[in-house]
Amino acid sequence: MNMLLNFTDGTPFSKGAADYNNVPGYELSEHMVLMVEVGDHPRKRMTEAVVYTGVPYLICTRAMAKAVGIALDKPEETGRVRVEGVWVEGGIHNVTLTLLADEYKGESVPLPVWAFVPDREEDFNPEHLPPMYLGLKGCLNSFLFAVDPFSQTFHFG
């Protein structure tokens, strides 16, 4: 069933949608986890990312940043973010994030976002969580999105 959202005048709100991975009885059940692609061909990688409005930017581990070809020594800016109460220093980079749509749920959407990569691997290496957070400023606020908690669907576009 196509569940794309529309405004009341009929214009589309979202271009795609995907279920988020909510696993009862597991740490991930407290998080909204999406499958996304990061980077550009030929180093585009598919991975999981936590939707996390409590931080800015797309925050990713240094390992994942290297894997998608981010030039860690050439950030657009230097900055810091507070992740779960702890300040983390790092660089801010431009990167392409592709929100992946499930089959029959619209289209996938590639977007330019800002990624934050910590200076030190140990500063952001969450155990038992995906290696990437989708923060608000510079990432989630670059597109329209909505959450249906009953069907566990993340709408974007």
Binding site for other proteins (CB under 8 A): 15-16, 18-19, 21, 23, 26, 28, 35, 45-48, 56-57, 61, 63-64, 66-67, 76-82, 87, 92, 94, 98, 100-114, 127-131, 137-138, 141-144, 156-157
For other proteins, which is the closer residue by CB, 67 or 147? 67
Question: Minimal distance in Å, beta carbon 45 to other proteins?
Answer: 6
The amino acid sitting at 112 is P
Question: Minimal distance in Å, beta carbon 121 to other proteins?
Answer: 10
For other proteins, which is the closer residue by CB, 72 or 108? 108
3-state SS, residue 25: coil
For other proteins, which is the closer residue by CB, 72 or 142? 142
Question: Minimal distance in Å, beta carbon 40 to other proteins?
Answer: 12
Of 84, 87, 43, whose CA–CA distance to 64 is shortest?
A: 43
Exposed / middle / buried, residue 119 (Cβ in 10 Å: 0-12, 13-18, 19+): middle
Contacts of 48 (CB under 8 A, 6+ apart): 21, 33, 34, 35, 36, 130, 131, 132
CB 36 within 8 A of CB 48: yes
Question: Minimal distance in Å, beta carbon 51 to other proteins?
Answer: 15
For other proteins, which is the closer residue by CB, 11 or 73? 11
